[in-house]
Chains A and B, each alone.
Chain A
Amino acid sequence: MKPTHFPFDRQLEHTAADWWARLRDPSLPDDELVAWSEWLDADAANAAAYERVSALAELMGGMDEVNRRAFVARFAPVPARAAPVARRPRARLAMALAAGVTLAVLGAGAFLALRPAATDTEARFASAHAGHRDIALPDGSSIELGGASSVTTRFGRDERLVDLDAGEAFFRVAHAERPFIVHAGPLRIRDLGTAFNVRRSGERVTVTVTEGRVRVSPLAAPNDAGTVELGAGREVSFDAETQAMRILDVDPASATAWRSHRLEFVNEPLASVVENVNRYAARPIRLQDLSLGKMTFTGTVEVDTIDSWVAALPRVFPVRVVTYPDRLELARQTTMARSAQPR
């Protein structure tokens, strides 16, 4: 049957989702099941709506392990294992309740704010490809965005939350009672009065502290397990695949070298290096063979001479560069393939 497109119908979508939830109950009586199948057969639009909700539920049910843990940690933390937050004064609690903040009251009277207040102001900022952008936040903090990067800020009554959606950002945080928290993929970075850089390539995140201290926790870990505290001159890389944190001593200036148009990497997987360089490259670089991405690179890339950096790669890696009008490809070098490259 040819797929037919039905206009989006809010009511229908709700009816379909409601049936889906009913059918998930194994004790659903036979007559309701028959009623459902009559509804399904009554109109092709019903069947299509049911197909859409089923597909979405299947997609979400089949989520990978890292995301699954992150969703559960965010939306359904197990109360007994959740990290208790320091007790707030009663007046604050009354105010918070009045403001409609959702609070879970834990056994001994510790309160856990499950999410920011509904009155949060949300703003999204993005920088252009190869561009930088300075953002002054209302609390006096500032964010400097690297190329092709974006953040969403959500400032609520209890916390200042920033999502690093993609790319790289340097944060200079104005001290305030409300904590300043950055979510970067699988990581939560909590500022303890400071300036720091966060670079994100998909689920791989590197946090470098230039002043003060930050606390970094994997979002997926319960009870803040795996939390590390970093001072100035320290860097942590988190790899969501291995859930491993690698801590290095670094020159803080090198992590923020991008602010002066240089990208510096220490033992960074080539896949991540390429992803970062692509935020600036005129022609994107692609890895033909994904296994190349696991090789590690240490060095500096000048963002205005990316092509010559790429051209020099075959001297340090077993790769050759294939040049296309719209992209550069890195291929695995073979003895047969050392001939001149197409130009």
Chain B
Amino acid sequence: MNAVRHTMDPSEAAASPGGKRARQVVDLFREHNAALVAFLRTRLNSLADAQEVAQEVYLKLLSLGEDTVIDSPRAFLFRAASNLAVDRIRMRNVRALAPVDPDADDWHVTPVPEQHASAHEQWRDLRRALDELPPKTSRAFVMHVIDGRDFAAIAREMNLSDRMVRYHVGNALAHCRERRDRAETPR
């Protein structure tokens, strides 16, 4: 997949390029990079951040000593990624608390009219797609994906199990995707 190219070649970063550890990491990287980036993208809800954190994962694996025993390389890879994703989210939260630089925020004051119009239509269509869903489904989805609240907090507020929240979020996402497909490919 394309994402591979965005990630640095770990063999270049390895202290001993021909080492057993480096070889193992390179293999892991070849085999699972697409899944790793897809996984991180899901956790971080950002492809750009996912690609960055994927690099951190490889650097971390390369820095492990040659004697570290890894039973299930794939599970190990995902666990390392999961931990680094948590760190990244913490870092983001710290940044979100920092005061906004008004200059950096200036770009949206003068939107390009066409972009503005199409963005507007896009949100309108998504709003309509959500309107078609049962209220609990759209509510759980908006709280999680748009308002950024975790499943446990939503479960508490809506008096549902985590599993039901997850179910609603998945359903709403599939429905929105389906509506967009219908809009993109009129038949």
A53 and B35 contact, Cβ closer than 8 Å, known pairs A24-B43, A72-B147, A291-B110: no
Q: Contact at A54–B41, with CB atoms within 8 Å?
A: yes
Number of A-B contacts (CB under 8 A): 163
| Partner pick for A58 among B39, B46, B109, B180, CB 8 A cutoff | B46
- Give the residues from 181 to 220 in chain A that come closer than 8 angstroms, CB to CB, to chain B: 185, 202-203
| Partner pick for A56 among B135, B147, B173, CB 8 A cutoff | B173
User: Does A51 interact with chain B (Cβ within 8 Å)?
Assistant: yes
- State A40–B126 Cα separation when bound (angstroms): 26
How far is the CB of A37 from the nearest CB of chain B, in Å? 4
Q: Contact at A53–B74, with CB atoms within 8 Å?
A: no
Q: Contact at B170–A18, with CB atoms within 8 Å?
A: yes
Q: Chain B at the A interface: mostly helix, strand, loop or mixed?
A: helix
How far is the CB of A203 from the nearest CB of chain B, in Å? 7
Cβ of B51: which chain A residues have Cβ within 8 Å of it?
none
Q: Contact at A72–B146, with CB atoms within 8 Å?
A: yes
Q: Contact at B117–A202, with CB atoms within 8 Å?
A: yes
- Give the residues from 53 to 71 in chain A that come closer than 8 angstroms, CB to CB, to chain B: 53-64, 67-68, 71
Give the residue name and chain of the B residue nearest to A10 (CB): B178
| Partner pick for A22 among B2, B112, B166, CB 8 A cutoff | B166
- State A260–B181 Cα separation when bound (angstroms): 42
Q: Contact at B127–A13, with CB atoms within 8 Å?
A: no
User: Does A275 interact with chain B (Cβ within 8 Å)?
Assistant: yes
B contacts with A, residue count (CB < 8 A): 63
Cβ of A58: which chain B residues have Cβ within 8 Å of it?
41, 45-47
Q: Contact at A26–B86, with CB atoms within 8 Å?
A: yes
| Partner pick for B174 among A13, A41, A290, CB 8 A cutoff | A13
Contact with A along B156-187 (1 / 0, CB 8 A): 00000010001101110110111011000100
Cβ of A21: which chain B residues have Cβ within 8 Å of it?
166-167, 169-170, 173
Cβ of A24: which chain B residues have Cβ within 8 Å of it?
42-43, 144, 151, 166, 169
| Partner pick for B142 among A54, A72, A241, CB 8 A cutoff | A72
User: Does A1 interact with chain B (Cβ within 8 Å)?
Assistant: yes
Q: Contact at A50–B123, with CB atoms within 8 Å?
A: no
User: Does A33 interact with chain B (Cβ within 8 Å)?
Assistant: yes
| Partner pick for A17 among B82, B171, B180, CB 8 A cutoff | B171
Known: A26-B150, A71-B123. 9 other contacts (CB 8 A): A21-B169, A24-B43, A31-B75, A37-B35, A37-B39, A58-B47, A61-B148, A62-B45, A68-B147
Instruction: Give 6 nearest A-B pairs by CB, closest first.
Output: A21-B170, A17-B174, A75-B142, A290-B110, A17-B173, A37-B35
